[in-house]
Amino acid sequence: MNISEKQNKIAVVALGGNAITREFEEGDIYQQFANTRRALAGVADLIEKGYHLAITHGNGPQIGNALIRVEETRHLVPPIPLGVLVADLEGGMGYMIEQTLQNKLLLRNVKREIVTILAQVVVDKNDPSILEPTKFVGPFYKKEEVENLQKTRGYVIKEDIGRGYRRVVPSPLPKRIVEAKIIRNLVHNGVIVITAGGGGIPVYVEKDGRYEGVDAVIDKDRASAILGKEIKADELYILTSVDKVALNFGKPEQQFLDVITVKEARNFLNAGHFPKGNMGPKIEAAIEFLESGGKKVVISSVDKMPEAIAGQTGTEIIH
């Protein structure tokens, strides 16, 4: 039975990387499941309110661990390229979120179908970041190892200031999601879809229409904004490590924001309040989502999502 879009709000929930693996944790599978259970309380609340959802998630800590496994086992098994690792994690982490949410809804006596769908996300093969990669991934290397790694493996390696030397990979802007129509149909008919994990699997389109994978990582929040646009979502929830967005973050004059408009968000972004490696991409994703037809964005912490839904915390960005 088709469920009318007018009866149920459509939302995308973007779980931050800290939802699954928290800072200073080893990140073993037991910790990841425990963190996932905590992270999904607010998601379950939205579902109980009748929302139709697509859920995305970060994979920063997990992709780093996966690359370490590749490095440490190269002499035993063939290495797995980055794009395939992203796909592997999209499935594996999707399984954790899917099963955990199934169990939560079972205990609440809420009957909804849940499915994980791998998403290929189209990027421009001429994106500037592909020619000049800047996204740090994977393990740290010693300075004396860099030249050999660049020669033998073709890595681009740069200094992560104050931390060591790491591989850098492209992080191109997402353009569209290959499976968007399928995801939209499922979500609008009440199926909860977990997709575009880690920003989705980066692909580009050949001249004859064929898809080809790219060894890159896509920003999860930007991909979530594109997903929201393509499934015609009303709301986007970006869950991170802070309860609210702030101006002058970490400074004595820090000011938390409760509600801001798209125009104000853009002005604050242009004024340099939201750094590129932190809140900047989230604000850019929020602006893109709202300018593409979305009605509201909420940015808050994973732990405080229930309160953010109730309007008790978080930062709302509206028209």
Residues tagged active-site: 17-18, 135, 220, 282
Nearest to 224 by CA among 64, 59, 54, 60: 54
Q: Which two tokens stand for residue 282?
A: 């989230």
Measuring CA to CA, how many Å separate 97 from each of 32, 248, 319? Answer: 10, 34, 32
**Residue type present at position 263:** K
